[in-house]
Copies of this chain bind each other. A is one copy, B any other.
Amino acid sequence: MAGIEIIFTLGFVTLAGILAIIFALLLSAWILKQPKGEKKISALSDRIYEGAMTFLNSEYKPLTGFVVIVAIIILLTSIPNQAAYAFIVGAFSSALAGNIGMRIATKSNSRAAVGAKEEISKGLKIGFSSGAVMGMMVVGLALVGLTVIWNFAPDPSIIIGFGFGASSIALFARVGGGIYTKSADMGADLVGKVEEKIPEDDPRNPAVIADNVGDNVGDVAGMGADLFESYAGSIISAITIGYAVTQNQVNIPILSGLGTKLILYPLLLAAFGVLAAMIATGLVRPGRGSDIGSLHSALNKGVFGSAIIMAIFAFLLTYKYLGVINPFYAMISGLAAGIVIGLASEYFTESRFGPTRSIAEASQTGPATNIVTGFSIGLSSTLIPVLAVCAAIGLSYYFAGLYGIPIAAVGMLSTLGMTLATDTYGPVNDNAAGIAEMGEMGSEVRERAEKLDAVGNTTAAIGKGFAIGSAALTSIALFAAYISKVGISPSLLSIQQPRVMIGLFIGGLLTFVFSALTMSAVGKGASAMVKEVRRQFKEMAGILEGETEPEYQRCIEISTNTGLRNMVLPGGLAIVVPIVVGLWNPQVLGGLLAGAIVTGLLLAITLANAGGAWDNAKKYIEEGNLGGKGSEAHAAAVTGDTVGDPFKDTSGPALNILIKVMSMVSLLFVPLFI
């Protein structure tokens, strides 16, 4: 392929990225024009905004230090120098996407509440638009960053730097944000709901603002950084393996002779994905006076619509551009696996279905049976997703060799602009419900906001399926890239080799220890929060009577400090251990990555689904079933829900990042291992 064609193709992809960014900015402008609400309401939103920004800003200080140090280390090693700059750009882009997405989310919450007061579909529109800002910023910045770097330095060793930069930010944002949000949530619930029996989001609860801030730093900024990483990672691993094919390091007969096209193809797929997602946002048009069912179907139209449009685009692109249709099948197997995983997690976590109902029923015999039932449901919920991942690996490899695996991941994430929008939509409306309660906007507004939140659950389940599935496929693709780059003879990587077996054990071990560290950090933070809330209730007269305003700021500080302090060790482990092990022996590191991916995926699904199922079992009882609120069964279900908080929102999602970041750091540091 001629150089000019490459530049033209890259330019097209850059343009799609810029388009996504412009789209996001236009949506932001529209959101900011919506009424923010009367003084009391807007003040609440401002508080949440400030709390969230305080956390992000405090997080940036250590992260900047970390980025500078790692960049210097890269410069000092035999890794190409440009990788250090790509690393900085990747870190900056990821932080920027998260920052903008979260700013808009915290500006949207009161607007969504005010909108829902007017008309429920208005609430949906604002929440969804806010999510779309995040979604489009993520894909836009990633595409612009990747194409600009590839244009100046077409070398996989360099572009991996970009991915590692994104990974590092994602790691700390997910871990720190996850610990923040659940320390606040658990702390607020344990004293507020359990001890003092005041409702969720009650303004008398000193931890209530911290809890609402947490939804943003955890579920919005953390999720955005997570998927920025997966998105960039999947494309980078496809580029790396495509490049290896062009260099004849990997031999895939059916793709021979396609040359540079194999490198540009994943970028083009992503560019068309942006267009598909943009078109599909137009499908999310709830009519005025919509009921829940039609709101639900509006979001579904967006998610499934973008997938169908993308499938058509991908078919045409593959046929016209590559001339070989097989990679299209690989991409479709990824897309299908994502949907299957999403539907499976929906089945396991929604109270319409058996599993969650059985948790609710087990709550009637107390918290212990609630926990045992929920945990065993979490364990068994791994069956379908893991088989789906296996099928995606098998099929994509069958159709397009090693190149097929990252293409499946790219396929799964191609419509990320849309799936992330429906995911981020949830916490925005969760915040809106909180603001409705705290700002005493009346029970109708609160109920509407809660309904809107519930509507997002199904699409969020699909979104989470994509996040989990893509993390697995991306890591496997990066792992394959590591293996092909490190150049160890396959027989030395046989599972029969004690070194590989030891690596598998260490990899599995890391996921367990990492989960333990993040989970116990939440426990410690929640405990500190409980003590502070109890102190305020005791020492400051009039809080519970609603006459004195509690010191919200103190609780925000506790969450912030817990999050920042406790992200260092697990985050550091994820980065340092693969490097140390790789320096010791790259065979062991190969085993380590495989062990971490397998165990990490299993554990992540278990934690996410057990947590989701406990949450919805509690909601099911709160809807008036099995005795309803205030019953013994409800108390047991609240325990399960609280246990599930760090499972589903801290440790589970952090594991997705762990496996990606370890694969990424291994791939980047290969030059040091050989």
Residues of A in contact with B (beta carbons under 8 Å apart):
186, 190, 194, 362, 365-369, 371-373, 375-380, 382-383, 386-387, 389-390, 393-394, 397, 405, 476, 480, 483-484, 489-502, 504-509, 512-513, 515-517, 519-520, 522-523, 526-527, 530, 590-591, 594-595, 598-599, 601-602, 606, 638-639, 642-643, 646
CB within 8 Å for A495 and B498 given contacts A379-B512, A390-B506, A490-B490: no
| Closest B residue, CB atoms, query A529 | B365
In the bound complex, what is the Cα–Cα distance between A595 and B606 (angstroms)? Answer: 17
- Give Cα A371 to B374, complex, Å: 13
Q: Which 10 A-B pairs have the closest CB atoms?
A: A368-B642, A380-B516, A379-B516, A490-B491, A490-B494, A376-B519, A493-B494, A376-B520, A397-B498, A495-B594
Known: A372-B642, A376-B519, A639-B639. 13 other contacts (CB 8 A): A365-B527, A367-B639, A369-B523, A372-B520, A375-B643, A377-B516, A377-B520, A378-B516, A380-B517, A386-B508, A490-B497, A491-B494, A493-B496
A393 touches which of B476, B493, B502 (Cβ 8 Å)? B502
Is B490 in contact with A500, judged by CB distance below 8 angstroms? no
A377 to B494, CA, bound (A): 33
Q: Which residues of B contact A591 (CB under 8 A)?
A: 495
With beta carbons under 8 angstroms apart, the residue of B383, B520, B527, B594 that contacts A501 is B594
Closest B residue to A194 by beta carbon equals B366
In whole Å, how far is A615's beta carbon from the nearest beta carbon of chain B?
13
Q: Which of B372, B383, B639 sits near A519, CB closer than 8 Å?
A: B372
Residue of B494, B507, B523 near A373 (CB, 8 A) is: B523
Can you spell out 18 A-B residue pairs with CB atoms less than 8 angstroms apart?
A190-B366, A190-B369, A369-B526, A371-B371, A372-B643, A373-B520, A373-B523, A376-B517, A377-B520, A382-B512, A382-B513, A386-B508, A393-B501, A397-B498, A405-B498, A490-B494, A490-B497, A493-B495
Q: Which residues in B have their C-beta under 8 angstroms from that of A495?
A: 483, 493-495, 500, 504, 590-591, 594
Is the pair A530, B394 in contact by a Cβ cutoff of 8 Å? no
Closest chain B residue, CB of each to CB of A362: B523
Measured between C-beta atoms, what is the minimum distance from A308 to chain B in Å?
28
**Do the beta carbons of B365 and A513 come within 8 Å of each other?**
no
Cα(A598)–Cα(B600), bound, Å: 12
A459 to B573: give the CA distance in the assembly, Å: 34
B512, A372: Cβ atoms closer than 8 Å: no
What's the least CB distance linking A514 to chain B, in Å? 9
Query: How far apart sit A393 and B505, CA to CA, in the bound complex (Å)?
Result: 11
Are the CB atoms of B595 and A598 closer together than 8 Å? yes
Contacts of A372 in B (CB 8 A): 519-520, 522-523, 642-643, 646
Check if A496 sits within 8 Å of B522, measured CB to CB.
no
Find out whether the CB atom of B380 lies under 8 angstroms from the CB atom of A512. yes
Q: Judge whether A598 and B380 touch: CB under 8 Å.
A: no
* Chain B: minimal CB distance from A658 (Å): 13
Cβ of A527 and Cβ of B190 under 8 Å apart? no
Please state if B646 and A390 are interface contacts (CB–CB under 8 Å).
no
Q: Are B500 and A599 in contact (CB under 8 A)?
A: no
| Residues of chain B with a CB closer than 8 A to A375's CB | 519, 643
Kindly report which residue of chain B lies nearest to residue A398, judged by CB atoms: B498
Cα–Cα distance between A386 and B512 once the two chains are bound (Å) = 11
B520 touches A380 (CB 8 A): yes
User: How far, in Å, is A569 (CB) from chain B's closest CB?
Assistant: 12
A373 to B371, CA, bound (A): 14
Bound-complex Cα distance A591 to B494 (A): 10
Q: Looking at the assembled complex, report how far the CB atom of A537 sits from the nearest CB atom of chain B, in whole angstroms.
A: 14
With A393-B501, A491-B490, A602-B512 known as contacts, the answer to whether A519 contacts B379 (CB < 8 A) is yes
Contact B380 A498 (CB under 8 A): no
Bound form: Cα–Cα A38–B387 in Å: 60
A368 neighbours in B (Cβ, 8 Å): 186, 190, 638-639, 642-643
Q: Would A365 and B190 be within 8 Å (CB), given that A382-B513, A602-B512 are in contact?
A: yes
How far, in angstroms, from A308 to B513 measured CA to CA in the complex?
Answer: 33
Taken together as a complex, chains A and B put the C-alpha atoms of A539 and B496 apart, in Å, by: 61
List, in ascending order, chain B residues with CB within 8 A of A369's CB: 186, 190, 523, 526-527, 642
**Chain B residue nearest to A397 in the complex (CB):** B498
CB-CB < 8 A to A367: which residues of B? 367, 639
Q: Are A515 and B393 in contact (CB under 8 A)?
A: no
- Best-surrounded residue of A367, A390, A393 (most CB of chain B within 10 A): A367
B509 contacts A382, C-beta separation under 8 Å: yes
Residues of B within 8 A of A601 (CB): 505
Chain B residue nearest to A191 in the complex (CB): B365
Residues in B with CB closer than 8 Å to A595 are 504, 598
> Is B390 touching A502 in the complex (CB atoms < 8 A)?
yes
Residues of B within 8 A of A483 (CB): 494-496
| Chain B residues with CB below 8 A from A646, complex form | 372
Give the docked Cα–Cα distance between A393 and B504 (Å): 12
Asked if B494 and A386 sit within 8 Å, CB to CB, the answer is no
Closest Cβ neighbor of A391 among chain B residues: B502
Q: A379-B519, A494-B493 are in contact. Are A365 and B598 (CB under 8 A)?
A: no
Q: How far is the CA of A386 from the CA of B591 in the complex (A)?
A: 15
Q: Are A598 and B508 in contact (CB under 8 A)?
A: yes
In the complex, A313 Cα to B592 Cα: how many Å? 38
- Point out the residues of chain B lying under 8 angstroms from A590, CB to CB: 495-496
Nearest opposing residue in chain B for A498, CB measure: B397
Docked complex Cα distance between A483 and B492 (Å): 14
A300 to chain B, nearest CB (A): 29
When distances are taken between beta carbons in the complex, the residues of chain B under 8 Å from A530 are 365
